[in-house]
Each structure stands twice: as structure tokens, then as C-alpha cells.
Amino acid sequence: MAQRDSYNKCIKTMYSLGRFGIKLGLSTIKSILHNLENPQDTYKCIHVAGTNGKGSIASSLASILHISGYKVGLYTSPHLIRFNERICINNKPVSDANVVASYEAVNKASCGARKPTFFELTTAMALYEFNRQKVDWAVIETGMGGRLDATNIINPAISIISNISLEHQKYLGNTISRIAGEKGGIIKKCIPVITGVKQKNGISTLKNIANKQSAPFYRLGDTFRIRRGKNGTFTYFGIDNIWRNMRSGLLGAHQIDNAALVLAACEILNKNKAELSIQSIKDGLAQNNWPGRLEIASSSPFILLDGAHNLIATRCLAKFLSENLTKRKITLVTGILDDKPYAAMLACLLPLCNKAILTRPKTNRAIEPEKLYSIAKKIIPDVCIIQDVGKAIKHAIKIASSDDAICIAGSLYLVGEAKEMLDL
């Protein structure tokens, strides 16, 4: 009981830091880690940035490294149900006791000019815990951008930038070039960088940064490529290798692009004397599980969970629905955050659905369903509002037949509440 109380108090204190908001910069995290004797320098790192696919790429790499016999730390955000999900060792969330221990260590070390934000604190906790657990590798996902993101304190063996779209424009800029410049801030001197960016301006910006840093530059569609096969398989035409009959454990055609970036990273790791066999790479990629991303929660009725938290992710979800669920009547349960292009997201998904239930996840960033209603009603006639996420899902299940599908999407906060309610 005492341990549970300590954990709950710790989590409550950390969440209260949300009031300090987003403060980009490295001075605070640098000060904390210096006082902890720079734990991030005691293990090898892979740094993953980008608009979408960061978590899928990071978790796939962690899976492959673990299957290959390494002890692996994985730091991602946000969590879906419990804070511990953010800090994993060998694909398992750390214990409550370890969360408390890492928080207490970081809290004692935090004596800079200002209090750390929630993300700065949790990043320091992860980097500290990975050292305490003596990991061989840590795969680190950025929070926002890259250049001034708290995770950019690490010295990675590889930098990965998945893709780029207009997001967080208040902080990162309002053009692809400017956002690419921010995400390209994770590129380090002479350290290989891998990317799936497709826009000419984005590619040009990243190439320029890589050239200035003398960083080898590898791009999907140029240095390496893929050819899609049948039943979700693909062939990877790599930097030095051709690997056939590869398969991602994650659903969605877009996950093959993410997998290609993972395989390019594996090639580079092997060049630098990591020991990743082709069988370990295949198994790690195929066995990876990343909750809340095209996750099938039930078969009858068919329930699909997907974060789909921005326009690109929504388009990927729409593609999946149009290719796989055309024979089913779909009820969409959705709640969206207020900094997202909600009108475009609804316009993308609703034409594929028969009904929509608008709800509101428990975060002050969520849009009131009434604001979504006027847009949704113009696209499909059968729309209702149920404010509580749990009640919205129960209603969707109640009105669904065994042949129908329920799609819960629009925010990872929404998916987290859904998973908790469905006891997944």
C-alpha cells in the first residue's frame, strides 16, 4: 500500500508540471543530466524523429535488438493507459517502484534556473533508468520537433527522421522547410541519418544539414527502396542487401514504409559491428506490437482502435478502412484535440462510415463534440454526441450487429480510454 501511495503521489506531482507547458530548449535537461553524471552517455542510442511513424519505428527497432540478444531501453510518448508505458526495458514497462526511484533521483538533480516541464522530467527519468538498468541500447523517440527537443541531449549511433508534414506550427514553423530544419536538428556530426521524407523542400533541407554535419544520408526511394508483395509481404532492396519475404507485425500499408527505415537502420548497425542476423531482423519486425495503431480489439463486433491523431494518420486509417472493411457498416467513435485539422480529418473518415458518435477524451486539449457536430452532420446524417468515452463505446457496441465494425479513432488519449474501458 505504501508503495502504491508513493507511486500515485509521484505521478500526480509529475502531471502537475503540465501547467508549465511546452518550453523547447536543452539547458534544463542538460543541467539535470549533468547532475546525474550524464547517464545517457553510458549506452548506445538510436534517435527517432518525424511527424508520423516514430513509435512504430522505435518499437520495431527495440524488438529486433531485443531478439538479437541485447538489453534494450525504449522511450516513447504519449502513453495510452499508464505512465510506465513510456519507459520500457526489453519491451516491458518499468515497475511502479522504478518510476518512483527514477523520479526521486531526477527531482533531486533538478536545480536549474527553472523547473523542468513534464516532458523534460520524464525524458531525464528514462535516460537515468536506462543507465541504472544497464541497457546495451536505448531507442529514443522525440517529443516535438528535434533540434530543441529534450531528447536531443543524446549522442546517437543513428538518427532517423520518418516523414514530415505541417504540425505544431506555433513551435516548429509553418513551412515544410522550416519544420524539416527543426527535425533535422537531431542530425549529428558524422552520424548516419535515415529518412522517408518525400517533399522536395524537406529533402533539400535535410540534405543540407547532413552535408554540413558530414553525416551519411540515406533516403527511402533513393538509397534504398521496397517492392510490395502479396499478403502484406515486401522485398527490401537495401544499401548493401536484398531481403525478401519481409513482413511487419503492424497493420496498414504505411507500416511497410516504416519497416524499410527500420531495415536500413539494421544494415547500418551491422556495418558498425552490431550483431543482427537476418532471422532476428525478420522475427523482430514481424513480432513487433505497437498498441493503439490499427489495433483489432474485438472480432465480434469488429472493433478497431487507431490513434489517427493528425491528417496524415487519418488518411492512413481511411486507406485501411477502404481496403479492408468495405463489406461492413462502420460506426466511428471519435474525439479530436483542438490543435488538429478536425474538419479535414472528419471529411477524410466520415464518407466511409454509416454512423458517427462524437465524444470527448479526458484532456483539456479536446474539442467539444458540439463543435464537431456541425461539420459531421453535413457529411453523414446519422451523428450523435455522447460526451463520456466509455458510454460512447458501450452505445456503439449496443447498436452494432455481429457483421458491423466499430472504429475508435481521432486521438491517442481517446484510444487510451478505450483500451482501459475494454480492459485490453
CATH of residue 404's domain is 3.90.190.20
Please give the grid coordinates belonging to residue 143.
Answer: 517529443
Please give the grid coordinates belonging to residue 292.
Answer: 493503439
**Domain end position, chosen among 224, 255, 287:** 287
3-state secondary structure of 259: helix
How confident is the model at residue 350, as a pLDDT? 97
Residues 6+ apart with CB under 8 A from 34: none
Full-model pTM:
0.94
CATH of residue 83's domain is 3.40.1190.10
189 in the same domain as 167: yes
133 in the same domain as 100: yes
How confident is the model at residue 18, as a pLDDT? 64
Distance (Å, whole) CA 367 – CA 387: 11
262 in the same domain as 327: no
Residue for grid cell 527502396: 225
- Report strand pairing: 217-219 vs 44-49: unpaired
**Domain end position, chosen among 287, 310, 327:** 287
Residues 6+ apart with CB under 8 A from 173: 179, 181, 182
Which residues, listed in sequence order, are joined to residue 298 by a DSSP beta bridge?
A: 303
358 in the same domain as 265: no
Distance (Å, whole) CA 275 – CA 68: 7
How confident is the model at residue 144, as a pLDDT? 86
317 in the same domain as 369: yes
Residues 6+ apart with CB under 8 A from 300: 402
338 in the same domain as 223: no
Q: Of 305, 302, 309, whose CA–CA distance to 289 is shortest?
A: 305
Distance (Å, whole) CA 272 – CA 163: 25
Q: Of 202, 160, 198, 196, whose CA–CA distance to 177 is shortest?
A: 202
Helices 311-324, 342-349: crossing angle, 10 deg rounding:
10
How confident is the model at residue 424, as a pLDDT? 63
Which residues, listed in sequence order, are joined to residue 306 by a DSSP beta bridge?
A: 409
Per the structure, the count of domains in the chain is 2
Distance (Å, whole) CA 19 – CA 11: 14
Which segments of 110-175 does DSSP mark as H helices, in order?
118-132, 169-172
Q: Of 129, 160, 157, 130, whose CA–CA distance to 142 is shortest?
A: 160
* φ, ψ at 329 (rounded to 5°): -80, 130
How confident is the model at residue 80, as a pLDDT? 95
343 in the same domain as 257: no
**Domain end position, chosen among 253, 287, 321:** 287
389 in the same domain as 249: no
Are 93 and 9 spatial neighbours (Cβ–Cβ below 8 Å)? no
Which segments of 68-117 does DSSP mark as H helices, in order?
96-109
Q: Running along the chain, 424 residues long, what does each successive block of 10 average in pLDDT?
A: 83 79 83 96 98 96 98 96 97 97 92 84 97 98 93 98 78 82 96 97 96 98 95 95 97 95 98 94 96 93 93 95 94 94 96 97 93 96 97 96 95 95 82
335 in the same domain as 255: no
Residue 253 neighbours by CB distance under 10 Å: 14
DSSP state of 337: B
326 in the same domain as 273: no
Please give the grid coordinates belonging to residue 281.
Answer: 531482423
- The boundaries of the domain holding residue 74 are 2-287
Q: Of 192, 13, 194, whose CA–CA distance to 99 is shortest?
A: 13
273 in the same domain as 322: no
269 in the same domain as 414: no
